Amino acid sequence: MTDAAIPTTTPVVRSRRMRPQWLTLPVIIGFAIIAFWVVVAVTVPLWTPYDPLMIAGRRLQAPSMAHWLGTDALGRDVLVRTLYGARYSLPIAVIVVAVAVAIGSALGAIAGYLGGLVDSVIMRFVDVTLAFPPILLAMAVTAALGPGLDNAAIAMVAVSWPVYARLMRAQVLSLRGREHVEAAIAAGASRPRVLIRHILPLAWSPTLVNATMDLGQIVLLAASLSFIGLGALPPTPEWGQMISEGAVHFYSWWIAFGPGMAILSMVLGFSFVGDGLRDLFDPRSGT
């Protein structure tokens, strides 16, 4: 795949040690941010001086050496809570995107491969789901199921799968007529086998790029739902929930500062990496 990133028309003399073209500075920064949060999420209980749910000092303290990002209304350490927040946001984003990709891609692949009535039914369902503003649909679903992170996750799957159905359907449609597919059919391969063994392996790259970017967007949406009061409930150290506590204690700006920066870094990290992956898979679309 890396060979595809090298423009074939211009014979550039490249030293062997040079990094591949898609690995630009933002992409490296993006990887670094994500790696940072993954490490934090996995190891945070081992090295933080305070417990995220326990009182660590006087309430509403401004940032100091003892509490780098201050303390919240109950006297809990904001930095520790922010770091613990990754333990909620990251797994939720990964699970939501994985499930949305699985559902969306499966339905899209079936729609594109079978065509006809199945295709129409599935794609009209996609159209209707995409007709909702995502946040409103997510709010309605979460409210219907009852507030909580798990229900918010279901709601986020409900709003994010249709895009993957469209992406996968378009890929399958364009690959369906390829010669190697026809050859497989001629050789007597069954329809599921043709789809799974001969079409799907070639159809993943747009989905992968979109999924990477979506990870950041899901972190943002999860925090939004929590901020509204439909996602994580207190005392969970979830970023949106923490920002809503910060909104209540508005003059203690530091309560919301850390979690906001955390969300921002996560969104930026995933979109940088997503950009890099897009350049890697499709060098012509470069900016």
Partner 1 sequence: MLRTIVRRLIAVPLLLLGVVTIAFLLSNMTKGDPLVAIVGERQMTNPEVVAAAKARWGLDRPLPERYLVYVGNLLSGDLGTSFRTKRPVAQDLMVRLPATLELVIAAMIVGIVGGISLGVAAAHFRDKGMDHAARVLALLGSSVPVFWSGLLMLYVFSVLLGWLPGPGRLDPRMAAPPAVTGFYTVDALLAGDWPAFVDAARRLVLPAIVLGWAVLGIITRLVRASMLDVLGQDYILAARSKGATERRVLFNHALRNAMIPTLTIIGFSFAYLITGAVLTEAVFSWPGIGTYAVDAARALDYPAIIGVTIVGGAAFLLTNLVTDVAYALADPRVKLG
CB 217 → partner 1: shortest distance, Å? 9
From the list 14, 19, 58, 124, which residue makes contact with partner 1 (rule: CB under 8 A)? 124
Binding of partner 1 by 234 (CB under 8 A)? no
Torsion of CA 73, 79, 83, 84, to 10 degrees: -30
Question: Do the beta carbons of residue 72 and residue 255 sit within 8 Å?
Answer: yes
From the list 71, 82, 142, 236, which residue makes contact with partner 1 (rule: CB under 8 A)? 142
Question: Do the beta carbons of residue 108 and residue 200 sit within 8 Å?
Answer: no
Euclidean distance between CA atoms 108 and 168, whole angstroms: 5
Binding of partner 1 by 260 (CB under 8 A)? yes
CB 122 → partner 1: shortest distance, Å? 13
Binding of partner 1 by 73 (CB under 8 A)? no
* Closest to 152 measured CA to CA, from 238, 84, 213: 238
Q: Is the dihedral of CA 205, 208, 211, 216 positive or negative?
A: negative
Which amino acid belongs to residue 205?
S
CB 81 → partner 1: shortest distance, Å? 15
First to last CA, the chain: 19
Q: Is the dihedral of CA 26, 31, 36, 40 positive or negative?
A: positive
Give the single-character DSSP code of 132.
Answer: S
What is the contact mask toward partner 1 in residues 194 to 233, using x (rule: CB under 8 A)?
----------------------x---x--xx--xxxx---
Q: Which stretch binds partner 1 (CB under 8 A): 43-51, 111-119, 136-144, 201-209?
A: 136-144
Binding of partner 1 by 236 (CB under 8 A)? no
Chain CA centroid to CA 152, Å:
14
Euclidean distance between CA atoms 268 and 29, whole angstroms: 9
Q: Which stretch binds partner 1 (CB under 8 A): 53-61, 69-77, 90-98, 239-247?
A: 239-247
CB 207 → partner 1: shortest distance, Å? 21
Q: Which stretch binds partner 1 (CB under 8 A): 40-48, 72-80, 193-201, 241-249?
A: 241-249
Q: Count CA atoms closer than 13 A to 133's CA, side-chain side.
A: 3
From the list 144, 183, 193, 286, which residue makes contact with partner 1 (rule: CB under 8 A)? 144
Specify the residue, 199 or 236, whose C-beta has the smaller distance to partner 1.
236
Binding of partner 1 by 146 (CB under 8 A)? yes
User: Given the structure tokens 């409900």, which residue do they identify?
Assistant: 158
Euclidean distance between CA atoms 177 and 126, whole angstroms: 24
Binding of partner 1 by 137 (CB under 8 A)? yes
Which residues bind to partner 1, rule: CB under 8 A?
124-125, 127-129, 131-137, 139-146, 216, 220, 223-224, 227-230, 240, 243-244, 246-247, 250-251, 253, 256-257, 259-260, 263-264, 267-268, 271, 287
